[in-house]
Chain A
Amino acid sequence: MSEISRRDAVRRLAMAIAATGVVDRAAAQDVHSMTAAAQAASGGSYAPKAFTADQFRTLERLTDLIIPVENGAPGAVAAGAAAWIDMISSENDQLKTIYGNGFTWIDAAMKQRGAASFVSATPEQQTALLDLIAYRRNQSPELSPGIEFFSWVRRMTVDAFYTSEIGIKDIDYRGNRPMGSYPSPEESIAYAVKKAGL
């Protein structure tokens, strides 16, 4: 195959991918369009399906603390992590129960610490509680349900963020795109070989 026809093939492929992207997005009712539609219907904010408005605000705040805005780079809130977790939980009773119980626990724990609820607590109160439940070493009869809940929120927030367009850009994933050839990553190899002493 000549270089020109090869390039042409790659270009045609890229076009096919672009076309497929549109078709797939439409067919799959991409979560962003779903989220956008739900937001439009509710006058701007996402209308949760699995959780109450209060619970959803708690979830969104938790995702914000787990993957925050960092030096201006958008975090879990901009990536719609809470909406995605809500959508998945709306179809899965087990997750709905885990989250429902977790929201109850975290509000009760906050009350004990002098705030009306998790979302109404000060950022300092919120992080003080997270500093306890974000670590297994703090396991105790009192804290263990919170630790287990937070581990679910962290896991699913990380999933939601890094599978979003924002998160994939944040982690700088460069693959799954057509290349005309696969060049040797010489600079990277030299770095790794030297560092490994091989």
Chain B
Amino acid sequence: MPQTNTVHDVVIVGSGAGGGTVTKVLADLGISVLLLEAGPMLIMSDLKEHMLPYHVPHRGAGAKGEAYTGGRTGFTYSATYGGAQLDGEPYTVAPGSDFSWFRSRILGGRTNHYGRVTLRFADYDFMGKSIDGLGFDWPIRYEDLAPYYDKAENFIGVVGTVEKIRSAPDGIFQTPAALRAHDTLVQRSCAKLGIRAVPARQAVITRATNGRPPCHYCGQCGRGCMTASNYAASYVQIFPAMKTGRVQIIANAMARELVTDASGKVTAVSYIDKTTGSEQQVRCRTVVLAASACESARLLLNSKSSRHPQGLANSSGVVGRYLMDTVGSSLSAHVPALSGMPRYNSDGYGNHVYVPWWGWEKQKALGFPRGYHIEVGGGYGMPNIGSFTGIANRAEGYGTKLKQAIRDEYGTSVGLSGRGEMIPNEQSFCEIDPEVKDRWGIPVLRFHWAWSDHELNQVRHMQETFRAILEGMGGQIATGGGRGGGRGAAAAGASPQAAARPPISRGGAIIHEVGTVRMGNDPKTSPLNKYCQGHEVKNLFVADGAPFVTNPDKNPTHTIIALAWRTADYLAEEMRKGNV
């Protein structure tokens, strides 16, 4: 197999929030890294956020009009570079399970287009089991991570306000943008219910930061940002780190397995060069897996040998286990108070307001164990394929009356999306499918998934709360009620079983999958120690969502960055001491 003699100090697999952070931190500390990315390099001029629909032939309907007849869309129109269906890269789902696995193949991964919600875990999030007996405790506490949240916020830039709410620890914030009309209605309606809605915490900058100009409020964060005014690992961490001369990147490199020596240490990473289909190896002193929670688990499970029959770093047997996603549920309403309102540009930067969890003190009385926060949608969004399908269907008819109905409803819809904590369970995990392989012959993952009553009861509470907030502003809730939310979410009531089930997202649909290679103090129950270093394989580190022990309601990216930063600091120190 082609292999160069160079032994790289650090090989990082994956370039998203975790890999980007490790790259930046190590390069700043004078350590050279080799970064493997399964997709192409990101080219900034390819970002499409300022394109209007009529700038592309399909206007976002997807090649061959797939928006109408099924299949993926958006590749030519946004910066997602990914989806649940990737050519030649299948995965399987066990009978009776429902799971969707979104993967991004591009430098920076999903950070190029994610929602930029940037929330710290609360102190109690690290010790859920000690509080209510469910799930597991983390091997670290808030105080261990707080300095790294600080570093991350200082470097990437986060808007927000100091609120002194226990479920939403304050950070180092830049000044947020003003609330919009629908944000204000949500805030006031919440206040009537005794619930606080506060300025959203987003990885967006409103003043020049580290050479990046402030946000220009085009509202298209989900399509990338050519001025790098929001966070993406590619343009905020990796491109600047490349200027140190200590970062080498191999793009289109799909990692296949980790090669180990007799002592059990990783000596090389084998990968497929996707441009030629050939297998290559790079030698390494240490390796950092940041390929996404499930890809990192897959890589360990596929690194089987006579010495590691269950896969690498997996004597515990828990690699792939305790897979979690965020609990998602949504409800929207037509709000007549917004109809006929003086028109304004409501684009801003995604969320301007959010509702942190308010029920942590009375959790026992609520009938479900853990919290959720609420994200708010609304405004006069850029017209897209499908933007007016709902109203055209309800209004029916044709001609000027139809046009007037569309005009009257534009900008009057307010949507609330709950993002809640799932308790890890034994039924939700990924493993290697015994038969199916991807186009390069790499065995693929098979997913198992089950929500429990904890999550279903939480969703019932979400729906009641959403209804109260929306009705409190005079909102008229559409027939059919709530949706599970997220990509590929199934409609509520699609089957007799589903009818009794509240509208909960499919597993994986919120794209917050974490927890497959967890950290912990006990090598028997956790592959990684409290620094995200392999218990059994000391030169192996994991720096994505895989080390998560639980999945609190806070969107995971901020904690992935903070944990990865801490892991990189630790790795550098261990390297300096000669321990790895």
**Interchain CB contact under 8 A, B57 and A87:** yes
- Interface of A, secondary structure class, is helix
Q: Which residues of A contact B56 (CB under 8 A)?
A: 24, 28, 30-31
Q: Which residues of B contact A54 (CB under 8 A)?
A: none
Known: A1-B208, A21-B55. A192 touches B181 (CB 8 A): yes
B451 within 8 A of A: no
Q: Which residues of A contact B227 (CB under 8 A)?
A: 13
Task: Choose one: A162, A175, A193, A195; the contact of B387 (CB below 8 Å).
Answer: A162
A36 within 8 A of B: no
A120 within 8 A of B: no
- In the bound complex, CA of A34 to CA of B349 (Å): 33
Contacting residues of chain A (141-198) with chain B, CB-CB under 8 angstroms: 151, 154-156, 158-160, 162-165, 167-168, 171-185, 187-189, 191-193, 195-198
- In the bound complex, CA of A198 to CA of B412 (Å): 16
Known: A28-B55, A159-B389, A163-B54. A173 touches B181 (CB 8 A): no
**Interchain CB contact under 8 A, B54 and A168:** yes
Question: What is the interface residue range for chain B against chain A?
Answer: 35 or more
Interface string of B368-403 (1 = CB under 8 A from A): 000000000000111111111100110011111011
**Interchain CB contact under 8 A, B346 and A162:** no
Contacting residues of chain B (214-255) with chain A, CB-CB under 8 angstroms: 214-220, 226-227
**Interchain CB contact under 8 A, A65 and B399:** yes
With most chain A CB atoms within 10 A of its CB, the pick from B60, B182, B345 is: B345
Q: Which residues of B contact A46 (CB under 8 A)?
A: none
Binding stretch for chain A, among B1-9, B62-70, B280-288? B62-70
**Interchain CB contact under 8 A, A198 and B473:** yes
**Interchain CB contact under 8 A, B392 and A155:** yes
- Interface of B, secondary structure class, is loop
Q: Which residues of B contact A173 (CB under 8 A)?
A: 380, 382-383
**Interchain CB contact under 8 A, A154 and B398:** yes
Whole-angstrom distance between the Cβ of B48 and the nearest chain A Cβ: 7
- In the bound complex, CA of A23 to CA of B45 (Å): 10
Q: Which residues of B contact A196 (CB under 8 A)?
A: 185, 188-189, 335, 337, 473-474
- In the bound complex, CA of A94 to CA of B69 (Å): 7
B266 within 8 A of A: no
Whole-angstrom distance between the Cβ of B444 and the nearest chain A Cβ: 29
Known: A163-B60, A176-B382, A185-B178. A151 touches B393 (CB 8 A): yes
**Interchain CB contact under 8 A, A178 and B217:** yes
- In the bound complex, CA of A187 to CA of B348 (Å): 17
Task: Choose one: B65, B185, B208, B341; the contact of A91 (CB below 8 Å).
Answer: B65
**Interchain CB contact under 8 A, A136 and B386:** no
A130 within 8 A of B: yes
Contacting residues of chain A (85-123) with chain B, CB-CB under 8 angstroms: 87-89, 91-92, 94-95
A17 within 8 A of B: yes
B61 within 8 A of A: yes
- In the bound complex, CA of A70 to CA of B404 (Å): 11
**Interchain CB contact under 8 A, A134 and B396:** yes
Q: Which residues of A contact B60 (CB under 8 A)?
A: 163
Contacting residues of chain B (402-429) with chain A, CB-CB under 8 angstroms: 402-403, 406-407, 410
Task: Choose one: B52, B58, B381, B397; the contact of A134 (CB below 8 Å).
Answer: B397
Known: A88-B65, A162-B388, A171-B383. A66 touches B184 (CB 8 A): no
B79 within 8 A of A: no
**Interchain CB contact under 8 A, B52 and A176:** yes
Whole-angstrom distance between the Cβ of A127 and the nearest chain B Cβ: 8
- In the bound complex, CA of A160 to CA of B473 (Å): 33
Q: Which residues of A contact B342 (CB under 8 A)?
A: 185, 187-188, 191
- Closest residue of chain A to B60, judged by CB? A163
Whole-angstrom distance between the Cβ of A160 and the nearest chain B Cβ: 8
**Interchain CB contact under 8 A, A192 and B57:** no
- In the bound complex, CA of A23 to CA of B184 (Å): 39
Known: A179-B216, A185-B178. A92 touches B65 (CB 8 A): yes
**Interchain CB contact under 8 A, A92 and B406:** no
B577 within 8 A of A: no
Contacting residues of chain A (23-38) with chain B, CB-CB under 8 angstroms: 23-25, 28-32, 34
With most chain A CB atoms within 10 A of its CB, the pick from B50, B207, B393, B410 is: B50
Known: A9-B213, A176-B220. A191 touches B341 (CB 8 A): yes
- Closest residue of chain B to A23, judged by CB? B45
- Closest residue of chain A to B338, judged by CB? A192
**Interchain CB contact under 8 A, A168 and B383:** yes
Task: Choose one: B50, B381, B383; the contact of A163 (CB below 8 Å).
Answer: B383
B89 within 8 A of A: no
- In the bound complex, CA of A154 to CA of B319 (Å): 51
**Interchain CB contact under 8 A, B55 and A25:** yes
Q: Which residues of A contact B343 (CB under 8 A)?
A: 172, 174, 188
- In the bound complex, CA of A176 to CA of B219 (Å): 6
**Interchain CB contact under 8 A, A175 and B380:** yes
- Closest residue of chain A to B53, judged by CB? A163
- 10 sampled A-B residue pairs with Cβ under 8 A: A6-B213, A30-B57, A31-B56, A88-B64, A155-B392, A175-B381, A176-B52, A188-B341, A189-B180, A192-B184
Additional 12 contacts, C-beta under 8 A, given A32-B54, A185-B181: A24-B51, A25-B55, A66-B402, A67-B403, A92-B66, A155-B392, A163-B53, A172-B343, A176-B382, A182-B215, A193-B184, A198-B189
Q: List 9 tightest A-B contacts by C-beta distance, closest first.
A: A175-B347, A196-B337, A184-B178, A163-B53, A178-B216, A182-B177, A195-B337, A88-B65, A198-B188
* A residues adjacent to B (C-beta < 8 A): 1, 6, 9-10, 13, 16-17, 20-21, 23-25, 28-32, 34, 65-68, 70, 84, 87-89, 91-92, 94-95, 130, 134-136, 151, 154-156, 158-160, 162-165, 167-168, 171-185, 187-189, 191-193, 195-198
* B residues adjacent to A (C-beta < 8 A): 45, 48-61, 63-66, 68-69, 76, 177-182, 184-185, 188-189, 192, 207-208, 213-220, 226-227, 335-338, 340-349, 380-389, 392-393, 396-400, 402-403, 406-407, 410, 472-474
